[in-house]
Structure 1
Amino acid sequence: MFKFEDDYTYLGLFYTKPSGHTEKRCRKYLDIKKLNTKVSAPQLMVVMMNPGASRPLKGNDNQPVAVEAKPDKTQGQIVALMKKCSLEYVRVVNLSDLREPKSKIFYKNIDPQDSIFSPSNKADFDEIFIKCVPVLIACGVHNSLDPLVKLAITTIGNAKIFGLKKENCTNKYYHALPRFMEQRKSWVDNMAKQIINTKVYCP
């Protein structure tokens, strides 16, 4: 169900920034587009936890423009959702730009300054975040994320927000890639239903 067909492109804006005696590898955003689409702007914004192991296919971690990126299983979930909703252009941003594939390490290194939703990164937010389309939050429910999720929702403002919320919790949205296949299918179906049923939905 979640295969990476050749009729989609994955374009990420990758960059690095100094961090002590080393540097952080980061990604500002990822665009997922259907090939030959005539849609010129994202139809849906997706907010996830962090770019994980995402990397540019040609290996340059510091690019001035978006370049082709290697897709992963989580992005396969987004493609499945795009198909169900007849969407051709989706943009993914993250609570943190930090590219750290191991969640336990990421949680210990969360820095609000790495977030597009931080006031210090307002210029990036204004340029990258499309404000007139629905927003899907699928970042996971780890407690370490709570301050960033709250910051993101505050910064997003009045946009229509979707997501699979954890019961009896505020600002906790389950990740787009659950552990089991049936849960993954259920997540896609649930999100598609939410998006298609909203009055602001325009494929």
Structure 2
Amino acid sequence: MPQDLPSLDQRIAHAQSLRAAELKKIFGVYGFFYQTQLAGEPQPCRSVLTLVRHGVTPEPLSGLEALPPDLLVVMMNPGSSRPLQRDDAPTEISQLDQLLKRHWVATQPDNTQYQIMRVMEGMGYRHARVLNISDLRETKSPLLIKKVEYLAKQDGGGLHSLFHPQRRGELQNLMGDDPHIPVIVGWGRHKGLLPLAHQALDALQGWRLIGQQTEEDPALYAHPSPMLQRMKDAWLDKMMRMIDATETGKD
């Protein structure tokens, strides 16, 4: 590494020091929100979120489709994610092919997304796409697990997951065709997620996965934003070192 560039340790320390207000000055957040019927009930969803440096954000936002990501992230579900403007109504979806016609809107960032921004800043990335093993916008994890388990027993109920076999074309469209891009996996440690986790890992075979496996099960990966700050810092340190090791050919 040239002497005038910061070392990995310096970049990690800088990334860990960044607060939300600073990160919002560097990155914009945009998502595609939709609503669909599953098991006869309307379900609010989000299929993708994108984090982009302000200097490369396209205008109009439809240009995000053609902007290749430097980083892919797969997490549990959108949680409390919502459009920045509350009057941005979600797109009504009745057929799977409608999910390919994405309407991007500015999105309110949260603590988890700030963690991904820190990785991006530390590694010099300009564009990350965030996907989830479930599109369901449920803020409470226990309720999400119950809903996922219920939908799994219903005809077509599993289509809330981007990794469902019937949505593989949409998934490929979002991920692109460069398997060398790092893919951070961090959907958490709840065993109720195992069916969705295995489905995602099957679809991600051949990709460069970066994640911290949990003691509960090797298919479960630590969430990027645990409650304690020291654990947030530890996760960030580990992810950046793992990415750096795979990029430089280290063991």
TM-score by length of 1: 0.92
- Kept in 2, the 8 Å contact 1:2–1:77? The answer is no
Q: Which residue of 2 aligns with 1:185?
A: 233
One-letter code of the match for 1:72?
A: D
| Structure 2: segments with no counterpart, 5+ residues | 1-17, 58-65, 92-101, 152-157
- Kept in 2, the 8 Å contact 1:149–1:171? The answer is yes
One-letter code of the match for 1:50?
A: N
Q: Which of residues 187, 192, 197 is equivalent to 1:149?
A: 197
- Kept in 1, the 8 Å contact 2:68–2:127? The answer is yes
1:168 deviation in Å?
7.2
Q: Which residue of 1 aligns with 2:99?
A: none
* 2:42 pairs with 1:23: yes
1:122 deviation in Å?
1.9
Q: Which residue of 1 aligns with 2:186?
A: 138
Give distance in 2, aligned partners of 1:143 and 1:82.
29
One-letter code of the match for 1:155?
A: A
Q: CA separation of 1:198/1:109 partners in 2, compared to 1, >3 Å: closer, same or farther?
A: same
* 2:160 pairs with 1:160: no
TM-score by length of 2: 0.75
Q: Which residue of 2 aligns with 1:118?
A: 164
* 2:133 pairs with 1:95: yes
Q: Which residue of 2 aligns with 1:2?
A: 19
Give distance in 1, aligned partners of 2:209 and 2:116.
16
Q: Which residue of 2 aligns with 1:129?
A: 175
Q: Which residue of 1 aligns with 2:116?
A: 78
Higher relative helix content: 2
One-letter code of the match for 1:142?
A: H
1:22 deviation in Å?
4.0
One-letter code of the match for 2:19?
A: F
Give the count of matched residue pairs: 201
* Aligned sequence identity (%): 29
| Structure 1: segments with no counterpart, 5+ residues | none
* Helix, strand or coil at the partner of 1:5: helix
Residue deviations 1:158-181, cap 9 Å, x none?
011010111373211010111100
- Kept in 1, the 8 Å contact 2:115–2:224? The answer is yes
Higher CA-based Rg: 2
* 2:51 pairs with 1:55: no
What is the alpha-carbon root mean square deviation over aligned residues? 2.0
